[in-house]
Amino acid sequence: MIARALVIGSIRILTGVRVGWRGTEPVTGQCVYFANHTSNLDGAMLWAALPKSVRNRTRPVAAHDYWTRNGVRRYLAKRVFDAVLIERKNVTVSTNPLTPMLAALDTGSSLIVFPEGGRMEGSEPGAFKGGIHHLAVHRAGLAFVPAWIDNVNRVLPKGEILPVPMLGSVTLGAPIHLEVGETREKFLGRARSALLALRA
């Protein structure tokens, strides 16, 4: 996979990205990484920053409409990132975004998701959408690992095409699980706090 190595190499040169775990031993088993969303490069950077053995079975979840708009994006999404593409807009029963995510989990893959549903404005992530709760309900015992991404918005700010080199970092925290009887609001709030706690 030359294209893959090239993409990973470029991301490393641009961001010198490092992964650090805080308050826990590294988790290597199947999980869902949920991260703050600041730049189109986030998913790619978190993915590239993971150790190779973990990265090979981790798939970023991304918007179908954005990543199929042209040939380059399609190629990157399919061949390089092996992304799980989900429908954001015209969601029907047949395009339920949960279906491809659950299918990926069932093959043993880990996922990278951005539960805000959009890029964060300012320094705090917005309210989480329900996606990760649905995943937790459908796959009991699934681990959710918070991932705080720092400084990548300066590498590729919204609306820019050309990236600028800037040191970025990913801080991963202790996994959380859906507890028995926990409400959707409580779980989403707990997840968001776990992510915020990783902010430097």
Partner 1 sequence: MNADPQMLWLGAGIGGILVVSSVVGAILKAVVRTEGGQATVANLNARIRAWWVMVLVFGLALALGGLGLVVLFGLLSFLGLREFITLAPTKRGDHRTLFWAFFVVVPAQYYFVKADWYGMFSIFIPVYVFLFVPVRTALAGDCDGFLERTAKIQWGLMVCVYCLSYAPALMTLRIAGYDGQNAKLVVYLLAVAQLSDVFQYVWGKTLGRHKVAPTVSPSKTWEGLIGGLLTATGLGAALWWATPFSPLQSAGLSLVITLAGFFGGLVMSAIKRDRGVKDYGALIEGHGGVMDRVDSLSFAAPVFFHAVRYFFT
* 198: DSSP letter: T
Contact string (CB under 8 A) for partner 1, positions 156-175, x = contact: -x--x-xxxxxx--------
* Shortest Cβ 152–partner 1 spacing (Å): 11
Provide DSSP, 113-138.
Answer: E-TTSSPPPTTS--PPPTHHHHHHHH
Looking at residues 94 to 153 of the shown chain, list those that interact with partner 1 (rule: CB under 8 A). Answer: 151
- Binders of partner 1: how many residues, by CB under 8 A? 12
* Shortest Cβ 165–partner 1 spacing (Å): 4
Measured from the CB atom, is 125 or 163 closer to partner 1?
163
Measured from the CB atom, is 157 or 175 closer to partner 1?
157
> Could you tell me how far CA 183 lies from the centroid of its own chain?
23
Q: Which residue has the tokens 């996994």?
A: 175
Measured from the CB atom, is 93 or 162 closer to partner 1?
162
Helical ranges in the chain per DSSP H: 2-15, 42-49, 52-55, 64-67, 71-75, 98-106, 131-138, 152-155, 184-196
Q: Which stretch binds partner 1 (CB under 8 A): 23-31, 50-58, 60-68, 154-162?
A: 154-162
Q: Is 68 among the residues that bind partner 1 (CB under 8 A)? A: no
d(CA 67, CA 43): 12
Q: Is 51 among the residues that bind partner 1 (CB under 8 A)? A: no
> Max Cα separation, the chain?
47
- Sheet of 18-21, strand order: 18-21, 169-172, 144-150, 32-35, 110-113, 58-63, 84-86
* Shortest Cβ 59–partner 1 spacing (Å): 29
Binding interface with partner 1 (CB under 8 A): 16, 18, 151, 154, 157, 160, 162-167
